[in-house]
Structure formats: structure tokens, C-alpha cells
Amino acid sequence: MRQQMPKQDPAVRRTNFDEVALGFTAEQALAEAKRCLNCKKPLCVQGCPVEIDIPQFITLLVAGKPDQALAKIKEKNSLPAICGRVCPQENQCEKQCVLGRKGEPVAIGALERYCADWGRANQAVESTGDPAGAVKEKVAVVGSGPAGLTAAADLALMGYQVTLFESLHAPGGVLRYGIPEFRLPKAIVDYEVGNLTKLGVEIKTNVLVGQTVTIDELFALGYEAVFIGTGAGLPYFLQIPGENLNGVYSANEFLTRVNLMKAYLFPEYDTPIRIGKRVAVVGAGNVAMDAARTALRLGAETVSIVYRRSRAEMPARREEIENAEEEGVVFRLLTNPVRLEGDERGNLTTMVCQKMALGEPDASGRRRPVPIPGSEEELPVDTVIVAVGQGPNPILLQATTGLALNKRGYIEVDPETMMTSIPGVFAGGDIVTGAATVIAAMGAGKKAARAIDRYLAAKKEAGK
């Protein structure tokens, strides 16, 4: 039987920021690893965006060699402690697992996490590469989120001199500012970033490429190639009346105040946050769940998810929805905010919502929510957190002449070479695809690193 990962009790965890899922014990990991059939043609690997040799690492785990299991994972994935926690395995490797056809798939994600955590606890040698090898060209990586971290690590392992540029004061991108401590402890992000510096990657924080330095200037500084992994960081709002009232946050702002600036420790930390008694989070993706669960931990009495479609269409991982429900988050489904109202001081008081029904499928294949006439209702609220997605940040895109964008405003790349319209400039992750998952961005970073290697090798060859 599939092992269940122990978790903090919901009543306790909703009052603290400690990690919710506690990880397998050694016994659990062994028992779970033994479930793997070690298929000759492993489908799980096909489901992994970074092609980890899953049966191999599990076999090593069964053999009692967690160090080697971790090394096997790290051949393909430079951030296993992070992926083991935040990857949607149920849609990837575990979805393909043969055991899942009749029963429950192997808990691959939990095993990956186990190996990574074992490595962190036991100071295993982390690097599988040869940073002392031939020193190749200088490559600039812009953005230190999952795509940038992966591209930087892979390029460093190939022997390139990598500089990673980050606009915030701490690296990690969404892993730092977006995903909360209780789902991804920041000590793990620090550890994984630390491994990167051990590989020889130079990290420069407080550099906003496009403003502090342009892409052209990076080439002038001697970088031979540039990878753009700036993500989808511009928050969308609902475009309804009252959205600029005090108490309305974008999920980005709310989570950044808490995760990056540690506003939950105010006044020990200087950045404030205000949380009312009644909080509504608009949207039902992973970011919405993170915001709702964070609001509970900040002391809100009631936290609702307000979503215009039904349960079946909620984009969040099932696990995160369950976690939120267990902690007491209320789900107001088929409910769409139409306007926000406030008092004379500009403070939010009410969210006026409309009930929805599901109509015919729309372009996304999901049934389109249709308003029910006369169904308006008032929801008293002190805080509203808007978590309806993000778009591309315009700064770098506007500052870079000749960079072709697609209709949605994201960077256009050759799907094979990951190169943009500017020779030597590559891009990957959310800034190309629009908001997606950590692992998809990592897959793109990995692919781009290989493409940059091919490009620079060919350039060198041509120059001879």
C-alpha cells in the first residue's frame, strides 16, 4: 500500500508557518521504494519534464544507498528538495506509473524529497559535475526563479562561467517570494541556491536587467549568451469597481510581504501587512490556496476561496485544495465578484458577488460560467486577495529592442533552439509559456542550457 506522508495536524498547523508535510521516515521510504516494479520501459520517466531516471534512483534507495539515489536524481534535476515538494507529480511521473492503473502509483515525489532531505541532513557531496574542468564562455542568466536556477546549474556543470542576475535582494524568484514557508521552507531555497554557488555560479542580486543594465550591455561586458527566465510576474486584477480600495491585495503583493519580507514577523521585521477578520481570495489555483492558507496563519477568522467555476475546474493541485479544506478554508464556488465597496476612509467592507451556472465548454475546454440573473449577494470582507493569474513583466521586454513577442506579450522562441529573435539570447519558463509550474520552467531551463551549449560550441567552431 502507498505510504502516507505524515503531516502537521490541521488545527495546529493553521496557527504556524512550519512545514505542513513532514516527509517520509526511513522505514516509510524503504517500504514505498519497494513498491516500484522497476519497469523495463519506465513510463514515469516520460512523464517527468526533466527526465529523471526514476526506477534507477528508487532501486538505489531500496539498496540502502540514498547518497547514490540522490546523485542519480541530480544528474537531471538540480533542485530535488524543491521539486519533491512542489511538483504536481499526480499529473506527471505518478500519472504514468503502471501501479496507478489498478491501484495507487508509487509516491515518486515523496521519495525524491526523501533523498534530497537525506542529502541535506547528511551533508552528502552535492555536485556531480566537474567545476574545475575547462572554463568556457561567460553566460548571463536573467532571473533566479526555477528556470534561471536550472539553466545556471546546468551551464555551470558544463563548464561555463555563469552569472545569475536577480532584481530582488534575495534569489529564488517565485520560490522565494511566492511559495509560502509552510509549503517550501526558505532554508531549502537557501540550500539549493548555495549549491549553485558551489558550482561556481556568481549571483548578483539587486540588478534589474532592462533598467540597471541592458541585454546589449551584457554582451558588451563579455557575455557570449543570455538566458531570460524572468517569469510571469505582473499581477492581473479583476478589472471591477473598487479594486483600488485599501485591503485589496494582489496575491503577489500579499505573498511577497509575507514570504520575502517576512511581514508575519512584524514588528521584528519592518514590513507590515494587514489582515482582517474576513478574507476572500479570488481564484482557485495553487497561488490562491497559498494565499488563503497564509491568511489563516496570519489570524483571519474566516477565509473563503471565491471562484466562478465549480470544483472540477479548480486549477490547484488536489493535495493543496485538501490541505486548505482541512485547515478550514471555505469554498464559495460558482461565485463571481462583480464589485467591491468600501467606507469613507477607502477601506474595503463588502464584496458583491454574482452566482454562476456552468454553460457550454469555452476555448479552454472547461464549461463556461454564466451569471444567474438576480443572484447578487453581499459578502462582508476586510481583505480581498486577487489570485487570478499573472502576465509578463514589461520592463525587460520594452528595454530590449528587436525582441519579438507573441500575441499574448510573451517572448517568442524557436521551440527547438529556445533562441529568441536576437541571436545569442535565449528564453524559457513562464516568460515564454505564460504562468505554469515550477517543473515546467525547470524543464525549459534545462533545454535552454543544452541549446546554449550547442550554440556556443558551433560559434566557437565557426570562429576557428
Partner 1 sequence: MKIIDKKQLAPEIVRFIVEAPQIAKKAQPGHFIILRYKENGERIPLTIADYNREKGTITLVCQGIGKSTYEINRMEVGDSFLDLLGPLGKAYPIKKLGTVVCVAGGLGVAPLYPKAKALYEAGNRIISLIGAQRKELLIMTEEMAAISAEIHFSTDDGSFGHHGFITEPLRQVLAREKVDEVVAVGPVPMMASAVKVAREFNVPVVVSLNALMVDGTGMCGGCRVTVGGETKFCCVDGPTFDGAAVDFQELLMRQRYYQEQEKEAFYRCKLEEAGQE
Instruction: Lay out the site mask for partner 1 across 233-252 (x = CB under 8 A, - = otherwise).
Output: xxx-x-----xx-xx-xx-x
Closest approach of partner 1 to the CB of residue 311, in Å: 28
Rounded Cα gap, residues 304 and 280, in angstroms: 5
Q: Is 59 an interacting residue with respect to partner 1 (CB under 8 A)?
A: no
- Residue selected from 202, 266, 339, 371 as contacting partner 1 according to rule CB under 8 A: 266
- The nearest distance, CB 213 to partner 1, in angstroms, is 7
* Cβ nearer to partner 1, comparing 239 with 364: 239
Of 88 and 180, the one with the shorter C-beta distance to partner 1 is 180
The one among 90, 253, 325, 326 contacting partner 1 by CB under 8 A: 253
For partner 1, the closer of residues 80 and 229 by Cβ is: 229
CB of 212 to partner 1, least distance (A): 6
Binding of partner 1 by 205 (CB under 8 A): yes
The footprint of partner 1 on residues 118-177 (CB under 8 A) is 167-169, 177
Nearer to partner 1, 39 or 234 (CB): 234
Residue 392 CB, nearest distance to partner 1 (Å)? Answer: 10
Residue 234 grid coordinates: 505582473
186 touches partner 1 (CB under 8 A): no
- 99 touches partner 1 (CB under 8 A): no
Binding-site ranges for partner 1 (CB under 8 A): 167-169, 177, 205-208, 211-213, 233-235, 237, 243-244, 246-247, 249-250, 252-253, 256-257, 260-262, 265-272, 274, 345-347, 393-395
